[in-house]
Amino acid sequence: MARKKSGSRPPRTPLWQIGTLWLVVFLGGFMTGVGVFLVAQIKLIDDIRNQVIHIGGLKRFFGRMTFLWRGLDQKLALTLHEVPEEYLRHSETAGWSMAAVGFMGFACLVPTVLLITWRLRK
């Protein structure tokens, strides 16, 4: 019967498991970034919509009438003013949800990946 050495190494983790963990960590970071980016876009749209609201009815009417001769930023502002508020709130909720799920996955798996990586270096 073979004796175990007192200072033996722990069993090695297969490389496919390490690769899978790193992939999940990458996807968590990616989802966090995409969610925060989506929320930032919604906040920008809200700001643009507020600027259009403060313009006034007569200017908005003439803005729609002369839409083809407007600049790109004015076209964008007038177009975004027509987007229903429910769609923006739903997109903002989806963005925050993506950011939260991605961050939780990222935060839970990073210590595990680092522990396995450090164990392999020993």
Q: Residue 11's pLDDT is what?
A: 66
What is d(CA 110, CA 99) in angstroms, rounded to the nearest whole number? Answer: 16
Split at pLDDT 50, 70, 90, the class of 117 is: confident
Q: Which helix (H) or strand (E) holds 121?
A: helix 85-121
What CA–CA distances, in Å, run from 97 to 26, 59, 67, 94, 107?
17, 38, 36, 5, 15
* Residue 91: Cβ-neighbour burial (10 angstroms; 0-12, 13-18, 19+): middle
pLDDT digits (tens, 9 = 90+) for 93-105: 999 999 999 888 8
pLDDT digits (tens, 9 = 90+) for 53-82: 776 666 666 666 666 666 776 677 777 777
| Tokens coding 79 | 């177009």
8 Å CB contact between 117 and 18: yes
